[in-house]
Structure 1
Amino acid sequence: MLKLRLSELRDRKNGHILQDILPGDYLSSGGLSFAKRGERSHTNDGPDGRDYHIHGDCEAFIILQGSGTMEINGEHTPVTTGDIIIVEPGEDHHLNSSEDDPIVTVWCHASLNRHKNQQQEGSV
């Protein structure tokens, strides 16, 4: 896991904003998430309802509002507005939202290819 602040990102005019810390030429998937008070993401996501969640690539979380902890392989790291967390391949990860200040995040993955909505017709 890598943790840094939005203010630490290099100013970019080309490519994606996380290019220095998230491998891949293009942001290829992602979303905006509004967690409930005290919610833990990806609970019971593993095979047979087991409690783990991993990827084969890096995933970025940008904390837009609120606070909580990022749980990586059972260890909790405090997160708050303006933090960026990069989860490494194979790390079991769960975002835990605060009861007092629920968390709002953007999460994304990057790859060599653009999102399917941005690809030219007939391209891969």
Structure 2
Amino acid sequence: MRKLSIAEFQAHHRGPTFTSVLPGHVVQKGGFRVYPEPNFRTHDEPGRHVHPVPEIFVIVRGSGAIEVDGAEVDEFQAGEAVLFEPGEDHHLISRGAEPLIFVWMHLEPSPA
């Protein structure tokens, strides 16, 4: 897991390429989520939540805790991006009064 400030994204970002976040990767698919309730845990289905590709969350609003492999390892806030590596069991937990709003994207290696 890596946490980045959105300000760290380089000015050349356009389209699906994330060269300064994860060199050599592009967006495979993604979406936008809003969770108005505090203490909401993403991917709250039973068992581990993992992907064979990296996943990045760009936090638009709200704050909370980052959970990796069942343990809270860090916190996040609006204006940050959280990148999970392939195979990491990962969740975000909303904390505070503001709704948690984020964009999520699965990344894949860019075609050569």
- What is the TM-score with the length of structure 2 in the denominator? 0.83
Q: Which has the higher helix share?
A: 1
RMSD: 2.2
| Partner of residue 18, structure 2 | 18
Query: What secondary structure does 2:33 align onto?
Result: strand
Q: Distance in 2 between matches of 1:23 and 1:106?
A: 19
Count of residue correspondences: 109
Q: Distance in 2 between matches of 1:99 and 1:31?
A: 23
What displacement does 1:110 show? 2.2
Q: Distance in 1 between matches of 2:110 and 2:17?
A: 16
Q: Distance in 1 between matches of 2:61 and 2:102?
A: 7
What displacement does 1:19 show? 2.5
| Partner of residue 69, structure 1 | 65
Q: Distance in 2 between matches of 1:113 and 1:13?
A: 15
> Aligned pair 1:40/2:21, yes or no?
no
Moved more, 35-44 or 63-72: 35-44
Q: Distance in 1 between matches of 2:85 and 2:13?
A: 26
Amino acid at match of 1:75: A
What displacement does 1:43 show? 1.3
| Partner of residue 98, structure 2 | 101
Does the aligned pair in 1 maintain the 2:32–2:101 contact within 8 Å?
yes
Structure 2 unaligned regions, length at least 5: none
How high is the sequence identity, in percent, across the aligned residues?
33
Q: Which has the larger radius of gyration?
A: 1
Deviations 1:7-51 (A, max 9, x none): 11111155535322235543120000101312111112xxxxx33
Q: Which has the higher strand share?
A: 2
CA 13–35 in structure 1, closer or farther in 2 if over 3 Å, else same: closer
| Partner of residue 79, structure 1 | 76
- What is the TM-score with the length of structure 1 in the denominator? 0.76
Query: What secondary structure does 1:78 align onto?
Result: strand
Structure 1 unaligned regions, length at least 5: 45-49, 115-124
